[in-house]
Structure 1
Amino acid sequence: MKMHILSGGRLRMRKSVYLPEADRSETIDLPVSCVLLRHSQGNVLFDTGCHPSTVEDSVGRWGTMAKAMTPIGGPQENVVSELANVGLVPEDIDVVVNSHFHSDHCGCNEFFKRATIFCHQEELRAAQSSDAVQKGYIPADWQHPMPVVAIDRERDFFGDGKLTLLPLPGHTPGTLGAVVNLARDGSFLMAADAVALRENLEREIMPRNTWDPDKAMGSLREIQRLARAGTKVLFGHDARQWEEVRKGLDAYE
């Protein structure tokens, strides 16, 4: 199996959202990552990043949520363009796994019309609730006609230990991570917003946009356990790590 790290856009937000002690005037630039897994049984995309239209008109796509996060990526910084750089088109993707249904993680779902969408059942329930839009769930990003499989527990996706979906609730009710085991490069955890920044993990800091701090801390403890066992944590939005990892055609195997 090969793992390609792809850009799903870039955002600028208040730093205090992730590190509450920061001055509220201070901002932080955040990479948005997507991960392509090329397995003999199919191509899996973990998260789909921001919709391309947000580069020019974030308010038109996100409404008032655009006040909280500002897209700063270029017109080609989206997962569809990134897939083209590795020789694939959206129709080549068999499965999309959404860590959760916030717009910077599922914004390009609509392009993957042949795929089956996997999510956690609690996330689907939250996105379908009467106050979902106020909580950051934008129907244009997550609500599409493709089949949806909602899981409620850890799942060995291919049955061979190479990809395991792992519930990591707290940031949202149904946040999912994924553990990838590669023959050459070892084990990785795609933590998404269960741990957005390295500093959140190392200093055990809860971001302000945490749905349930107690559950989030439980998920953080599980991530710490995996890290101690040798799993490399891929943080949801860590700019320093983004500069360090291999990206695009330079795959992990």
Structure 2
Amino acid sequence: MKMDVISAGRLKMRKSIYMPAENKDDMVELPVVSVLLRHPSGNVLFDTGCAPEAGEDPIARWGGLARVMQPIFGLGDTVVAQLPRFGLGADDIDVVICSHLHPDHCGCNAAFARATVIAHRAELAAARAEDGPRQGYLPQEWDIPQGYEEIEGEKDLFGDNRIVLVPMPGHSPGLTAARVELNRDGTFLLASDAAPMMCHVDETRAPKNSWDIGLATNALAEIRAEKDRGTTVICGHDDAQWQELRARKEGFR
């Protein structure tokens, strides 16, 4: 199995959301990360990132949310545009794993019409709730024609312990991480916004934009324990980590 970490957009947000001690007027640039897994049983995409339209006209696509979470990317930095670098197109993806359904993580879901799209039942319930749009769940991003395969507990994707989906609620009600076992490079945890930056893991401190601070802190403690056992944690929006990952041309095996 081979794993590549790919660009899925880029955002600008208030730094104090992630680091409370920072000045509330300071901004931070955040990568949006997607992960391509080429398993013998199929091609898997963990998160599809931002929709191209969000980069072209943020207010038209995201409304007022675009003022809080500002898209700052071009079309070439979206998932569908990145796939040809790996010899693939949207129809070559067999499974899409949604860590959660915020617009910077599921914006290209509709492009993968042939894929099975997986999301946690609690996440879908939150998105479908009456106040879903006010909570940041935008139907134009998550509500896709092909629908979803809903999960509740852990799910071993192909039954061989190589890709295991692990619920880690806190940032959102149904946030789901993925534990990946590679032959050469070992164990990885694709943490998404359960661990937006490595500082949150190291300090076991949840950022302000958590749905449930207590659950988010518990998830970070679990992730830190994984890291201490030697697991490589891939964060959702850590720019320093992203710069290292993007420089790794050969991917992971």
TM-score normalised to the size of structure 2? Answer: 0.98
Counterpart for residue 168 of structure 1: 168
Counterpart for residue 36 of structure 2: 36
| Deviation of the 1:200 alpha carbon | 1.0
Write out aligned runs for 1:121-140 (5 A). Answer: 121-140=121-140
Q: CA RMSD in A?
A: 1.1
What is the alpha-carbon distance in structure 2 between the residues aligned to residue 123 and residue 54 of structure 1?
A: 22
Q: Answer yes or no: is 1:54 the counterpart of 2:51.
A: no
Determine helix, strand or coil for the equivalent of 2:64: helix
What is the alpha-carbon distance in structure 1 between the residues aligned to residue 194 and residue 154 of structure 2?
A: 15
| Deviation of the 1:247 alpha carbon | 6.1
What is the alpha-carbon distance in structure 2 between the residues aligned to residue 75 and residue 163 of structure 1?
A: 29
Residue identity in the other structure for 2:218: G
8 Å contact kept, 1:6–1:248: no
8 Å contact kept, 2:35–2:47: yes
Alpha-carbon spacing, 1:98–1:247, altered in 2? closer, same or farther (3 Å): farther
| Deviation of the 1:249 alpha carbon | 5.6
What is the alpha-carbon distance in structure 2 between the residues aligned to residue 250 and residue 74 of structure 1?
A: 24
Q: Which runs of 5+ in 1 are unaligned?
A: none
8 Å contact kept, 2:205–2:217: no
Q: Answer yes or no: is 1:184 the counterpart of 2:184.
A: yes
Partner deviation per Cα, 1:38-58 (whole Å, 9 max, x = no partner): 011011100000001111201
8 Å contact kept, 2:95–2:116: yes
TM-score normalised to the size of structure 1? Answer: 0.98
What is the alpha-carbon distance in structure 2 between the residues aligned to residue 156 and residue 7 of structure 1?
A: 25
Q: Answer yes or no: is 1:84 the counterpart of 2:84.
A: yes
Counterpart for residue 70 of structure 1: 70
Residue identity in the other structure for 1:244: E
Alpha-carbon spacing, 1:247–1:94, altered in 2? closer, same or farther (3 Å): farther
What is the alpha-carbon distance in structure 2 between the residues aligned to residue 61 and residue 5 of structure 1?
A: 25
8 Å contact kept, 1:85–1:248: no
8 Å contact kept, 2:56–2:74: no
| Deviation of the 1:248 alpha carbon | 8.0
Aligned-pair identity in percent equals 46
Residue identity in the other structure for 1:156: D
| Deviation of the 1:73 alpha carbon | 1.6
What is the alpha-carbon distance in structure 1 between the residues aligned to residue 3 and residue 252 of structure 2?
A: 5
Residue identity in the other structure for 2:41: Q
Partner deviation per Cα, 1:49-79 (whole Å, 9 max, x = no partner): 0001111201111011011011112221000
Between the two proteins, the alignment pairs up a number of residues equal to 253
Counterpart for residue 204 of structure 1: 204
Of 243-252 and 181-190, deviating more is: 243-252
Counterpart for residue 154 of structure 1: 154
Partner deviation per Cα, 1:136-190 (whole Å, 9 max, x = no partner): 0000111011141111101111111110000010000000000000000111000
8 Å contact kept, 1:195–1:236: yes
| Deviation of the 1:246 alpha carbon | 4.6
Q: Which runs of 5+ in 2 are unaligned?
A: none
Residue identity in the other structure for 2:226: L
Determine helix, strand or coil for the equivalent of 2:33: strand
